[in-house]
Amino acid sequence: MNDLIMIVIRFLLYLDLMVIFGLPFFQIYGISGVRHETYNLTNFRSFITFAVVTGIILTG
């Protein structure tokens, strides 16, 4: 049972790292066209901050 918990935590950490590093690159390279920079940037920063805090909590 203990191994299953560690596997789930490790998977969540990998998922968190994918979100933290994947979303900024997707926003830079994947989205084309006209964007509303201020709205997207503030909404995006709050989500990335949430992902970073979640990763810190999972590792601590």
| Helices and strands of the chain, counted as H and E runs | 2, 0
pLDDT of residue 33: 58
How far apart are the C-alpha atoms of 6 and 12, rounded to whole Å?
A: 10
Between 43 and 3, the more confident residue is 3
What is the per-residue pLDDT across 6-29, written as a single tens digit (0 to 9) for each?
999 889 889 888 888 887 777 766
What is the per-residue pLDDT across 23-56, written as a single tens digit (0 to 9) for each?
777 776 666 655 555 556 667 778 788 888 888 8
Q: In the numeric block, which tokens belong to residue 53? A: 């805090």
- Per-residue pLDDT band for 4 (boundaries 50, 70, 90) equals very high
Boundaries of every domain in the chain: 1-34
